[in-house]
A and B are shown apart, each in its own frame.
Chain A
Amino acid sequence: MSFWKIAWRNMCQRSLASSLTGLSMALGVALMILVIVIHDVTVEQFENDAQGYHLIVGGSKGGDLQLVMTTVFHLGKPLYPIPYSYYKKFTEGEFAPYTSIAVPYCLGDSYQGGDLQFRVVATTPDLFEKLPYGANSDGSDKMYVFEEGRNFNRDHFFEAVVGSTVARKTGLKVGDKFQPTHGMSAEGDKHTEFTVVGVLAHTGTANDRALFANIEGFYLLDGHALTPEEGEEAHASADKLSKENFDTDDPNYGLKPLPESQREVTSILVKCKDEFGPMILDTKINKDKERVAQAVAPGGVVTRLLEGIVGPVRIILMVLTVLIIVVAGVSILVSIYNSMSERSHDIAVMRALGASRSAVMGIILAESILISLLGGIAGVLLGHAVLGLAGPIVEAHTGVALRFWDFNWKESLLIPGLVVFASLVGFLPALTAYRTDVGRILGGAR
């Protein structure tokens, strides 16, 4: 009979104590799994979200972190906008020689779907046609794919596409209409309807949680145009048109595009022509005397964010989970150690049957390792089960996609780590077993 079987039977004999100590180990390990996986998935997600372009250009009033958070992650209050003419510098002005693609963003509207609020991003179709949203493992670009429908038409001002999470959570589908709300509050004024013409396939980025409206339509909504300059004609707001006045034959309701002089953009995603482009544009934009705008490399900001905030939080959480596992280990030690007096007789019997001191020591160590291992394996399963169960909720609220099978290589270190740890915590009771005075226990000193 192997030591493992003897240890297993001893464990079963004290099933309640063994289960409780194993459970405490399982909870500690599950927490550690959650911290490791959630951190790494979050970091990966954050880094992926900021891929596909080199620079984000936004208003100079505000920090670079705010610019990245609002543009990439659709979180926080958008920065003060920049003139449309500044955007034109990237398409046909002084920045154009360095620019491959520039995609404007106008932020500030939202859409209330059930109890969830999603950002509405006004942009051009180029976002989905010309910009990738990440890279495949072979280095090729990941391009947006439409699960249903198509991209919105540049000339159809009131078309929109929705991210996969928005479609799932709100039920919006191709052909449906939705009314963006002015501002980020659910109580804001409702704008003119946009028609959903496409649903994006899941990208695993924050864009899954956004609705993308044609920027031309956005400009025609109330509160989105600058005051016309002298001599300029004020545009007709789509919101002010009554349904009867709509030109139903015209997808743009008979409205003309807003003059460029009355336009602004919140931010611009810029993909450069070569590797020098970001550096040159960064200098030109950020060293400009007038400092109309700022340019940031999202990757650097995300890394800074992760290292500055997420990293320390992760270390704190890891320390806490390690402490929980240590406490669980101590509970194993206490549990086995406390049982030593009641099982000293069994140990003495085994010694009388020929078990060496090291054999009984090994049996106690094996028991400690078994409890830790089984608790650890249960903890790994529990941790991943929590990931799987909580994944949809977390994704809906944060965009971070967690799945049952999200596995981190660091988890594979847990098992050998637990064996070493269990050997350490089992050493004291094992030593007690080693020192058992067989003669005294089996019938007194004489």
Chain B
Amino acid sequence: MLSLELVRKSYREPNGENLSILDIPTFSVAKGEQVVLRGRSGCGKTTLLNCIAGLTTVDSGRISVNGTDIVRLQEVSRDRFRAKYIGFVFQTFNLLPAFTALENVQLGMSFTGQRADAARAEKLLGDVGLGHRLTHKPAALSVGEQQRVAVARALANQPSLLLADEPTANVDPGHQQQIIDLLREACDREQVAMLLVTHSPEVADQFARVEVLEEINRAVSVA
């Protein structure tokens, strides 16, 4: 479902030298598989997620999602592809404050080129236990509720892959498990593969497959 081959990414330092961030010979996630990605701070986990989502371009290599090499796609096609096939859950929940819970979910549907499916958006919110909070804006929702909206939004377009970037980093331990359970249940229910970045050993221990970025990444800066 997701496969990376010879993916390289580097940034130019202020002194003009290139700093290699990613150098991944191979990495893959199967359909419906849930994988945890760990690594120390600054080792390139978020950069990797951004590269997989097509938000950051790679220097070379191949990133294939559902058989489509997103590196080769034009930016507009990549955006459209991301809207359709990749869901994103962020560290901070990143709900748009001007929109209600329902609209935040519908917003995720707005960029696919098709009409937003209000019924599906309502169902998704109902599935995460927020059927009674559809018209509430983020400011009126608790932290846990906001993250549930974020999960519903990520699944709005029935993606093939869900990228979760430390979704429990900013929540108290009491809510951590709820969020992880929610993500796993939702991915199981929707048959979505998940790549979850976390620092938390407690979270990582719950997953069958845990990858450490430093082990799959040969970049000099990481080594």
Q: Do A and B come from one complex?
A: yes
| Contacts from A to B (Cβ < 8 Å) | 1-2, 6, 9-10, 12-13, 345-346, 349-359, 438-439, 442-446
Known: A443-B91, A446-B46. A438 touches B107 (CB 8 A): no
| Contacts from B to A (Cβ < 8 Å) | 11, 21, 42-47, 49-50, 53, 55-56, 75-76, 79-80, 82-84, 88, 90-91, 94, 96-99, 103, 106-112, 116, 153, 157, 165
Q: Which secondary structure characterizes the binding site on chain A?
A: helix
Task: With both chains docked as a complex, state the minimum distance between the C-beta of B1 and any C-beta of chain A, in angstroms.
Answer: 18
Do B84 and A354 touch across chains, with their CB atoms under 8 A apart?
A: yes
Task: With both chains docked as a complex, state the minimum distance between the C-beta of B117 and any C-beta of chain A, in angstroms.
Answer: 11
Do B107 and A446 touch across chains, with their CB atoms under 8 A apart?
A: no
Do A355 and B43 touch across chains, with their CB atoms under 8 A apart?
A: no
Known: A349-B94, A357-B75. A6 touches B107 (CB 8 A): yes
- With the chains together, A353 CA to B162 CA distance in Å? 12
A residues near B55, Cβ cutoff 8 Å: 351-352, 438-439, 442
B residues near A9, Cβ cutoff 8 Å: 96, 98-99, 103
Do A438 and B50 touch across chains, with their CB atoms under 8 A apart?
A: yes
Closest to B116 in A: A1
B residues near A444, Cβ cutoff 8 Å: 46
Task: With both chains docked as a complex, state the minimum distance between the C-beta of A405 and any C-beta of chain B, in angstroms.
Answer: 38
Known: A349-B94, A353-B111, A439-B47. A445 touches B11 (CB 8 A): yes
Do A354 and B83 touch across chains, with their CB atoms under 8 A apart?
A: yes
Do A350 and B47 touch across chains, with their CB atoms under 8 A apart?
A: no
- With the chains together, A262 CA to B47 CA distance in Å? 106
Do A443 and B84 touch across chains, with their CB atoms under 8 A apart?
A: no
Known: A6-B110, A354-B80, A446-B46. A439 touches B56 (CB 8 A): yes
Do A354 and B82 touch across chains, with their CB atoms under 8 A apart?
A: yes
17 contacts between A and B (CB under 8 A): A1-B106, A2-B110, A9-B99, A352-B53, A353-B83, A354-B108, A354-B111, A354-B112, A354-B157, A356-B75, A356-B80, A356-B111, A439-B47, A442-B165, A443-B50, A443-B165, A446-B44
Task: With both chains docked as a complex, state the minimum distance between the C-beta of A159 and any C-beta of chain B, in angstroms.
Answer: 73
Q: With a 10 A CB-CB cut-off, give which of A351, A355, A442 has the most chain B CB atoms.
A: A442
- With the chains together, A352 CA to B103 CA distance in Å? 16
Do B96 and A349 touch across chains, with their CB atoms under 8 A apart?
A: yes
